[in-house]
């Protein structure tokens, strides 16, 4: 996809489809339409507009004669002006892009008035909305949709040359972030027979080479020598050996922010096997890892002035004669032991090692992302990530980055009263906490393994794996976390 920013007059764009936005407000709607018609040097009549009112995500194609050419303009609703937000622009651009695609347009221009504030962020939101909505995972479909034409070139256009540099920079930012999100989506959507620990590590290494950051891959022997009993234990049932992926970007003179991603490339549950209905979704149980790799791709290409370390324990959780069993006791990196009450609570077992290891980097902050519990989907559905942690100010920063990107997070408490649910009689801690507050007991388990640092745990089980399409998201892997963390790190001091 070719993306660019240009300044020129609205009537001069030659794209197959030119999209323009209007608000739905009673008082201004017809004036906005009249102003557009003037700018496009065409006549738009009430008949052409029909029932279109400018409501959120409503769109209407206007065929207009411009000299000798018949032009297609797409008028897209933004809803009420007083409810305007960056998310509205993302969605409106997604509506425009998907409509342009169904009109078989190869080139799309999206017009943004130079008066919109904040200009740069709006341009970025529009570009991201359009690019993310054109994502598809069709690499395994041999016969692509009957004469499907996809938008090949997107131009964001404004009138007035003063905005050129800001517009170009914003489009470029959006392109990088959307591509990084698409990478995370591709990794999540890829089947378990393609993405297993070694190939996940290969993908991280390729991203590192492409984008300019460092990647180190530890093999089973090295993982074992470090004393990571959780990673070794969970991977025992699989023919694929584990990998421990270490990413690093930025100057080591600064203490790093460490990002930890759960990399279970397929979670069958192990000996505590899951029911077969829906088990296929568990190919996305490495979405935390995908978010970390995607974030590194974005942060490195954006050249953000931060030092970041990424830690990904990568395993496949399968049952076999070598698999760990309920009742087994594992010893983790920091020396603490855990009782494996249920082999399906495997994420916390591998994260325990990674969180302990994070301490060796003397981090300023550690953020882990994991599709950790079904319980978080029960609590928050697919519209918010469950957030737990030990530092209110770090959580506040994530909440704010979540609002800006619309990858929203919502805090759950780590009250000490829940602790007794994960008490073990025979080890330091038990990997299950019973029926109630499953996401919290998952978070409390992790808390036992953190070092002396500020920490936030993001349970993305609901937000990373989607059951239906959204405005610019699709059923399957959402790539959640990439935009959130990139924005968080962009603001990081």
Least distance CB 284 / ligand BES (angstroms): 8
Beta carbons within 8 Å of 290's beta carbon, 6+ residues apart: 183, 184, 185, 187, 188, 261, 464, 477, 479, 481
Stretch that binds Zn ion, among 28-36, 188-196, 262-270, 446-454 (CB under 5 A): 262-270
- Count of residues interacting with ligand BES (CB under 6 A): 17
What does the alpha-carbon distance between residue 399 and residue 409 come to, in Å, rounded to a whole number? 6
Beta carbons within 8 Å of 47's beta carbon, 6+ residues apart: none
Least distance CB 116 / ligand BES (angstroms): 38
459 binds Mn ion (CB under 5 A): no
Residue 377 binding partner per list Zn ion, ligand BES, Mn ion, none, with a CB distance cut-off of 5 to 8 Å that depends on partner kind: ligand BES
Q: Which of 120, 188, 241, 347 binds Zn ion (CB under 5 A)?
A: 347
* C-beta closer to ligand BES: residue 125 or 376: 376
Sheet holding 69-77, edge to edge: 2-7, 153-158, 107-111, 17-22, 69-77, 59-66
Beta carbons within 8 Å of 376's beta carbon, 6+ residues apart: 385, 386, 412, 438, 439, 459, 461, 462
Least distance CB 428 / ligand BES (angstroms): 17
Say whether 348 is catalytic.
Answer: yes
Give one word for 77, left, alpha or beta, with left for phi > 0 and alpha for psi -120 to 50: beta
316 binds Zn ion (CB under 5 A): no
345 binds ligand BES (CB under 6 A): yes
The torsion of the CA quartet 476, 187, 294, 19, rounded to 10 degrees, works out to -50
Stretch that binds Zn ion, among 13-21, 114-122, 158-166, 343-351 (CB under 5 A): 343-351
CB neighbours of residue 147 within 10 Å:
6
Say whether 274 is catalytic.
Answer: yes
What does the alpha-carbon distance between residue 206 and residue 171 come to, in Å, rounded to a whole number? 24
* C-beta closer to Mn ion: residue 177 or 234: 234
3-state secondary structure 420-450: HHHCCCCCCEECCCCCCCHHHHHHHHHHCCC
Classify burial at 166, counting beta carbons within 10 Å of its beta carbon; exposed 0-12, middle 13-18, buried 19 or more. middle
Residue nearest to Zn ion (CB): 267
Residues 459-488 that bind ligand BES (CB under 6 A): 461, 465
What does the alpha-carbon distance between residue 125 and residue 122 come to, in Å, rounded to a whole number? 5
Residue 342 binding partner per list ligand BES, Mn ion, Zn ion, none, with a CB distance cut-off of 5 to 8 Å that depends on partner kind: ligand BES
248 binds Mn ion (CB under 5 A): no
What does the alpha-carbon distance between residue 246 and residue 207 come to, in Å, rounded to a whole number? 13
Stretch that binds ligand BES, among 30-38, 68-76, 344-352, 470-478 (CB under 6 A): 344-352
Residue 443 binding partner per list Mn ion, Zn ion, ligand BES, none, with a CB distance cut-off of 5 to 8 Å that depends on partner kind: none
313 binds Zn ion (CB under 5 A): no
Stretch that binds ligand BES, among 85-93, 168-176, 184-192, 369-377 (CB under 6 A): 369-377
Least distance CB 254 / ligand BES (angstroms): 34
Cβ(220)–Cβ(241) below 8 Å:
yes
CB neighbours of residue 107 within 10 Å:
17
Q: Which of 16, 128, 267, 368 binds Mn ion (CB under 5 A)?
A: 267
* C-beta closer to ligand BES: residue 251 or 275: 275
342 binds ligand BES (CB under 6 A): yes
Q: Which of 58, 316, 339, 344 binds Mn ion (CB under 5 A)?
A: 344
Stretch that binds Zn ion, among 90-98, 277-285, 395-403, 415-423 (CB under 5 A): 277-285
487 binds Mn ion (CB under 5 A): no
377 binds ligand BES (CB under 6 A): yes
Least distance CB 194 / ligand BES (angstroms): 19
Least distance CB 371 / Mn ion (angstroms): 9
Q: Which of 48, 267, 339, 368 binds ligand BES (CB under 6 A)?
A: 267
Cβ(283)–Cβ(191) below 8 Å:
yes
Least distance CB 438 / ligand BES (angstroms): 6
Give one word for 352, left, alpha or beta, with left for phi > 0 and alpha for psi -120 to 50: alpha
The catalytic residue among 214, 274, 336, 490 is: 274
353 binds Zn ion (CB under 5 A): no
Residue bearing tokens 């009112």? 53
* C-beta closer to Zn ion: residue 10 or 318: 318
The catalytic residue among 348, 430, 448, 483 is: 348
Residue 206 binding partner per list Zn ion, Mn ion, ligand BES, none, with a CB distance cut-off of 5 to 8 Å that depends on partner kind: none
* C-beta closer to Mn ion: residue 341 or 346: 346
What does the alpha-carbon distance between residue 446 and residue 312 come to, in Å, rounded to a whole number? 15
Taking CA atoms, 75 is separated from 94, 97, 154, in Å, by 13, 12, 16
Q: Name the residues that contact Zn ion, by CB under 5 A.
A: 264, 267, 285, 347
List interacting residues with Mn ion (CB under 5 A). 267, 344, 346
- Annotated catalytic sites, by residue? 274, 348
- List residues near ligand BES by CB under 6 A: 267, 285, 342, 344-347, 371-375, 377, 432, 438, 461, 465
């Amino acid at each position: 996809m070719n993306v660019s920013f240009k300044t020129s007059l609205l009537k001069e764009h030659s794209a197959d489809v030119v999209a323009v936005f209007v608000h739905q407000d009673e008082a201004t709607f017809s004036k906005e339409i009249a102003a557009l018609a003037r700018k496009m040097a065409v006549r738009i009549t009430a008949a052409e507009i029909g029932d279109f009112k400018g409501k959120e995500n409503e769109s209407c194609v206007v065929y207009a004669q411009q000299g000798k050419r018949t032009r297609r303009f797409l008028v897209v609703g933004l809803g009420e002006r007083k409810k305007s937000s960056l998310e509205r622009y993302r969605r409106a651009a997604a509506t425009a892009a998907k409509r342009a695609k169904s009109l078989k347009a190869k080139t799309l221009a999206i017009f943004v008035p130079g008066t919109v504030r904040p200009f740069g962020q709006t341009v970025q939101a529009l570009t991201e909305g359009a690019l993310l909505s054109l994502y598809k995972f069709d690499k395994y479909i041999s016969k692509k949709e009957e004469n499907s034409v996809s938008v090949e070139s997107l131009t964001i256009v404004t009138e007035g040359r003063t905005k050129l540099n800001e517009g170009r920079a914003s489009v470029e930012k959006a392109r990088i972030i959307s591509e990084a999100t698409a990478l995370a989506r591709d990794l999540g959507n890829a089947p378990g027979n393609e993405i297993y620990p070694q190939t996940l590590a290969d993908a991280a290494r390729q991203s590192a080479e492409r984008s300019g950051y460092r990647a180190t891959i530890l093999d089973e022997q090295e993982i074992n020598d470090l004393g990571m009993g959780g990673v070794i234990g969970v991977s025992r049932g699989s023919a694929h050996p584990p990998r421990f992926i270490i990413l690093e970007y930025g100057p080591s003179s600064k203490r790093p922010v460490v990002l930890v991603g759960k990399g279970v490339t397929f979670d069958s549950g192990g000996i505590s096997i899951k029911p077969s209905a829906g088990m296929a979704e568990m190919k996305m149980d490495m979405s935390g890892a995908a978010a970390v790799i995607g974030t590194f791709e974005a942060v490195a290409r954006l050249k953000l002035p931060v030092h970041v370390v990424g830690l990904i324990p990568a395993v496949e959780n399968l049952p076999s004669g070598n698999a760990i069993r309920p009742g087994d006791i594992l010893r983790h990196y920091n020396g603490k032991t855990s009782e494996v009450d249920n082999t399906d609570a495997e994420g916390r077992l591998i994260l325990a090692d990674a969180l302990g290891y994070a301490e060796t980097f003397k981090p300023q902050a550690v953020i882990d992302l994991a599709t950790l519990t079904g319980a978080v989907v029960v609590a928050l559905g697919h519209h918010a990530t469950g957030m737990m942690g030990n530092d209110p100010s770090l959580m506040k920063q994530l909440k704010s980055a979540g609002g800006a990107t619309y990858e929203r997070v919502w805090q759950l408490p780590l009250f000490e009263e829940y602790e007794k649910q994960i008490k073990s009689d025979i080890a330091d801690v038990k990997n299950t906490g019973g029926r109630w507050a499953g996401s919290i007991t998952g978070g409390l388990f992790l808390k036992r393994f953190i070092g002396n640092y500020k920490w936030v745990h993001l349970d993305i089980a609901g937000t990373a794996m989607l059951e239906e399409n959204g405005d610019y998201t699709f059923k399957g892997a959402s790539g959640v976390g990439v935009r959130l963390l990139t924005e968080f790190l962009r603001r990081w001091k």
